[in-house]
Amino acid sequence: MKLRADAVLFDKDGTLFEFGATWNAWGWAALQHLSGGSEATLHALAEAARFDLERQAFRADSPVVAGTNREAAACLASVLPERSVAEVEAYLERSGAQAPLVEAAPLVPLMAQLEALGLALGVMTNDAESVAYAHLDHVGIRGVFDFIAGFDSGFGAKPDPAPLLAFSDRLGLAPDRVVMVGDSPHDLNAGRAAGMQTVAVLTGPIGAEQLAPLADVVLPDVGHLPGWLMAG
Per-residue pLDDT of 10-30, as tens digits, reads 999 999 999 999 999 999 999
For residue 33, pLDDT over 80 is answered with yes
| C-alpha radius of gyration, the chain, whole number | 17
First to last CA, the chain: 9
| β-strands 57-58, 178-182 pairing | unpaired
pLDDT confidence bin for 52, thresholds 50/70/90 = very high
Average pLDDT taken over every residue of the chain: 96
- List Cβ neighbours of 58 (8 Å cut-off, separation of 6 or more): 19, 20, 23, 24, 27, 49, 50, 51, 52, 64, 65, 205
pLDDT for 232: 63
What is the pLDDT averaged over residues 172-191? Answer: 98
Integer Cα distance of 204 and 95 in angstroms: 20
Concerning whether 13 is annotated as a catalytic residue, the answer is: no
> 92 and 73 in contact (C-beta within 8 Å)?
yes
- Burial pattern 88-116, b for ≥16 Cβ within 10 A else e, equals bbebbbebbbebebebbbebeebbeebee
Identify the active-site residue in 6, 11, 127, 152: 11
- What is the number of H-type helices and E-type strands within the chain? 11, 8
Reported as a pLDDT band with limits 50, 70 and 90, residue 62 is: very high
Which conformational region is residue 99 in: left (phi greater than 0), alpha (psi within -120 to 50 degrees), or beta?
Answer: beta
pTM reported for the whole predicted model: 0.94
Q: What is the pLDDT of residue 64?
A: 86
Beta bridge partners of 9: 122, 180
- Nearest to 220, CA basis, from 198, 204, 196, 197: 204
Q: What is the pLDDT of residue 63?
A: 86
Let me know: does 85 contact 74? Beta carbons within 8 Å. yes
